[in-house]
Amino acid sequence: EMQLVESGGALVQPGGSLRFSCAASGFTLGGSWMSWVRQAPGKGLEWVANINQDGSDKYYADSVKGRFTISRDNAKNSLFLQMNSLRVEDTAVYYCTRERRGTYSYYGLDVWGQGTTVTVSS
Amino acid sequence: SSELTQDPAVSVALGQTVRITCQGDSLRTYYASWYQQKPGQAPELVIYRNNNRPSGIPDRFSGSTSGNTASLTITGAQAEDEADYYCNSRDTSGDRGVFGGGTRLTVL
């Protein structure tokens, strides 16, 4: 069974930093594009960032660009999200997801973790 | 603001058919996918690549696209289909993901 398990959630003050980890099992993470998606309390889903198989391509939502960094360690079957300069509006559940793709196209997000939560508050 | 637009809420009588739509310019170029999210749970993929069902998803769920609109149809809605549904695709640049605002489906 393919699984993603996030960890690292915490309560942090505005301006603080946090790093999320996501461990994959049941598939080889290195073979897939991966994404982070977040959901603020009572709100909809927001795409945050993604990264290609070898980590050479990364893309970010405008709301997090310059503050968040996505990375991966394929040898450890793990994905990361480093979050700096956190703001109150970054408060959300963060989901690690696997992208399903064809040779040239994005098809959807077919594996989701259970989510990990950051609360940004003073 | 989201580049994909969904109706906030839709209702359907038990056993009837309901269509949930998603509009956006990027849908003319990029595939749509759909996710079901029940309270307290992570989203689950129900349709990918416009009209494909992952294994384990009931065949009452189907997807289609026309122009700038993607649709998720539930034929014979069941009580357990009551949930939030989100569409997803790429933005107009193709580099970034984007979600619709979500549609809350109520099964009456």
Q: Please, what is the Cα angle at A10 between A7 and A14, to 5 degrees? A: 135
- Of the pLDDT bands very low, low, confident and very high (cuts 50, 70, 90), residue A36 is very high
Largest CA distance in chain B: 40
Contact between B88 and A47 using a beta-carbon 8 Å cutoff: yes
Q: Say what the pLDDT of residue A85 is.
A: 98
Residue A66: pLDDT above 50? Answer: yes
Q: Say what the pLDDT of residue B1 is.
A: 42
Contact between B42 and A106 using a beta-carbon 8 Å cutoff: no
Contact between A112 and B102 using a beta-carbon 8 Å cutoff: no
Residue B2: pLDDT above 70? Answer: no
For A36, the closest chain B residue by CA position comes to B97
Average pLDDT over residues B63-76: 98
- Of the pLDDT bands very low, low, confident and very high (cuts 50, 70, 90), residue A104 is confident
CB of B30 closer than 8 Å to CB of A47: no
Shortest distance between the Cα of B5 and any Cα of chain A, in A, equals 12
CA distance B57 to B63: 12
Average pLDDT over residues B3-14: 97
Q: Say what the pLDDT of residue A103 is.
A: 85
Contact between A47 and B96 using a beta-carbon 8 Å cutoff: yes
**What percent of chain B has a predicted confidence (pLDDT) above 90?**
94
CA distance B22 to B41: 22
For B86, the closest of A45, A50, A61 (CB atoms) is: A45
